[in-house]
A and B are shown apart, each in its own frame.
Chain A
């Protein structure tokens, strides 16, 4: 294989206020991203509630690599490559479930929840030097913050909490929509679009598109809610939180869901409030109802997870021009059924392959990828934005500066 005469000048492809089109379309850049970004930092793999008890597991990905996230008998979380150490067969093909053992169906090697190799059929075929302790499932480093579980291939990078840094207080605020019950991942919409992963990364911090792309969603709302979603005119802003993370505040009155609990209950939630009042005291009813609608901000955590108003958005790069998105619904863990149903219906309204919002987003992102086939020397503009403007492209600039830092490290 011949090396290119000169490696791409990654630093030159990202300027303060624009990035080069090749970041969307060049397969070689994509391969390098998988190596220098996704194999070199904390990548989100699960929410703790998805693997609630010992033996629970789910399949996930770190970059392009399939992993299994398990909770072992001692309650600890392990993230293991889904690949048998013998001849590479996958050891798990169930998206989630409970088990005590992962078995490679090719030759029967079996592993426990920590990845330890337990059984090798017909072991007499190996010589005396063969030691099962040498062949556990390859394990990643795992750390957790506020129920968000991240993994990394790197043992020598900073701890997760340090990496999240100034995003942590926002994550704490986001989790208040558990309303004291705790946040539970409650099903997910998954879909793919034919476009680069960074188009979606940008979108989580893009208020500018909302009234244009989502007009048909807005017209499906009652007047009060439509006013609430008039996000360009609520006094919001975007903040660079460091390490490529950012927050976009769209509805400043919904930053802290436990503040202003005396505010009137919106009309759309009044019948729910009446129903809850049968089982809960008034102050708790207000807290629950406030939490049902979610927060008023999006946290974009570089490179693959967002805490977006009322749900988790996970992106998974498939190829330079293909990305898989998971929109994970959130309910209150053990909370009132009526409130949790209301949350599910709200999620279905906007999200998912047939939501009132997602298909228009996906179409928009695909049109970016189709458009980026033209003008190979043109640039993607990120120069929008004053201070304290919710439609500023501050969050995108933050993400691309992190991209540049990692790609040139």
Chain B
């Protein structure tokens, strides 16, 4: 590693490279498909929010009804529930396979970057295969040597239509 790179690494607000962000988002997707939820919890900042809105164009999610509006404690409770073995929608859970692509950087300031991407998810359980498509927006920040999620907003293509019980994480 060159001295120049080394200096850059120590700078507090080092820019998040697009490729770095993409690899991080792929890691998150892989953890979710593998249902490695405890590892997934470590990807977040303490103040981070995980949001799945009903209205796709909503901005002030806290003031609206959402499908998911999780702070750190609700994320932890959600993971505990999914892993408890006590929830029949989550044990057994559907198998999921998701692909994330169409990455575009929307903002890039002060060591944080906002990436919008497309997610196609296929789930399978009990004779049935279903798909869910979503625009996903991440706000990622520097955390030690890596990145952390400060905000993840999953805008389903059919977010305001009738959905179905979802026993895993999007």
Q: Using an 8 Å CB-CB cutoff, how does the interface string of B46-88 with A read, 1 for contact, 0 for none?
A: 0000001011000000111111110000100110110010111
Q: Using an 8 Å CB-CB cutoff, how does the interface string of A197-228 with B read, 1 for contact, 0 for none?
A: 00000000000000001011101100000000
Inside 8 A of B160's CB, which chain A residues have their CB?
A: 95, 190
- Which of B65, B68, B84, B161 interacts with A354 by CB under 8 Å? B68
B66 touching A348, Cβ below 8 Å? yes
Interchain CA distance A189-B55 in the complex, whole Å: 11
Interchain CA distance A221-B143 in the complex, whole Å: 31
Q: Which of B54, B63, B88 has the most C-beta atoms of chain A within 10 angstroms of its own C-beta?
A: B88
| Beta-carbon nearest neighbor of A188 in chain B | B65
A353 at the interface (CB under 8 A from B): yes
Interface class of chain B by DSSP:
loop
B165 touching A356, Cβ below 8 Å? no
B65 touching A344, Cβ below 8 Å? yes
Inside 8 A of B4's CB, which chain A residues have their CB?
A: none
Q: A16-24, A72-80, A359-367: which lies at the B interface?
A: A359-367
B62 touching A360, Cβ below 8 Å? no
B1 at the interface (CB under 8 A from A): no
A348 touching B68, Cβ below 8 Å? yes
| Beta-carbon nearest neighbor of A356 in chain B | B81
B89 at the interface (CB under 8 A from A): yes
Q: Which of A220, A344, A354, A362 has the most C-beta atoms of chain B within 10 angstroms of its own C-beta?
A: A354
Inside 8 A of A189's CB, which chain B residues have their CB?
A: 54, 65, 67, 163
B86 touching A347, Cβ below 8 Å? no
- Which of B66, B80, B90 interacts with A219 by CB under 8 Å? B80
Q: Using an 8 Å CB-CB cutoff, how does the interface string of B88-125 with A read, 1 for contact, 0 for none?
A: 11100000000000000000000000000000000000
Rounded to whole Å, the gap between the CB of A193 and the closest CB of chain B is: 7
A154 at the interface (CB under 8 A from B): no
B162 touching A359, Cβ below 8 Å? no
Interchain CA distance A337-B54 in the complex, whole Å: 19
Q: A219-B81, A363-B167 are in contact. Are A186 and B87 (CB under 8 A)?
A: no
Inside 8 A of A215's CB, which chain B residues have their CB?
A: 84, 86-87
B66 touching A362, Cβ below 8 Å? no
Inside 8 A of A358's CB, which chain B residues have their CB?
A: 165
Count B interface residues, CB 8 Å: 32
B63 touching A187, Cβ below 8 Å? no
Inside 8 A of A352's CB, which chain B residues have their CB?
A: 67
B87 touching A216, Cβ below 8 Å? yes
A345 at the interface (CB under 8 A from B): yes
Q: Using an 8 Å CB-CB cutoff, how does the interface string of B16-42 with A read, 1 for contact, 0 for none?
A: 000000000000000000000000000
Rounded to whole Å, the gap between the CB of A142 and the closest CB of chain B is: 25
| Beta-carbon nearest neighbor of B62 in chain A | A341
Inside 8 A of A367's CB, which chain B residues have their CB?
A: 88
Interchain CA distance A337-B62 in the complex, whole Å: 10
Rounded to whole Å, the gap between the CB of B170 and the closest CB of chain A is: 8
Interchain CA distance A356-B90 in the complex, whole Å: 10
B52 touching A362, Cβ below 8 Å? no
B89 touching A191, Cβ below 8 Å? no
| Beta-carbon nearest neighbor of B125 in chain A | A363
A348 touching B77, Cβ below 8 Å? no
Inside 8 A of B54's CB, which chain A residues have their CB?
A: 187-189
A324 at the interface (CB under 8 A from B): yes
| Beta-carbon nearest neighbor of B71 in chain A | A345
A329 at the interface (CB under 8 A from B): yes
Interchain CA distance A364-B165 in the complex, whole Å: 11
A187 touching B67, Cβ below 8 Å? no
- Which of B67, B78, B88 interacts with A363 by CB under 8 Å? B88
A192 at the interface (CB under 8 A from B): yes
B63 touching A341, Cβ below 8 Å? yes
Q: Which of B63, B65, B84, B126 has the most C-beta atoms of chain A within 10 angstroms of its own C-beta?
A: B65
Q: A219-B81, A329-B65, A341-B62 are in contact. Are A193 and B87 (CB under 8 A)?
A: no
Given A187-B64, A348-B69, 19 other A-B residues pairs in contact with their CB atoms under 8 A: A187-B55, A188-B54, A190-B163, A191-B163, A192-B162, A193-B165, A216-B86, A219-B81, A329-B65, A337-B63, A345-B69, A348-B67, A354-B68, A356-B77, A356-B78, A359-B89, A359-B165, A360-B88, A360-B165
Partner-B contacts on A (CB < 8 A): 95, 186-193, 213, 215-217, 219-220, 324, 329, 337, 341, 344-345, 347-349, 352-354, 356, 358-364, 366-367, 370
Q: Nearest 4 pairs between A and B by C-beta?
A: A187-B65, A359-B165, A359-B89, A362-B165
Partner-A contacts on B (CB < 8 A): 52, 54-55, 62-69, 74, 77-78, 80-81, 84, 86-90, 126, 160-167, 170
Q: List 21 A-B contacts (CB under 8 A).
A: A186-B65, A187-B64, A187-B65, A189-B65, A189-B163, A190-B160, A190-B162, A192-B162, A216-B81, A216-B87, A216-B90, A219-B81, A220-B80, A344-B65, A349-B74, A353-B67, A353-B163, A354-B68, A359-B165, A362-B164, A363-B89
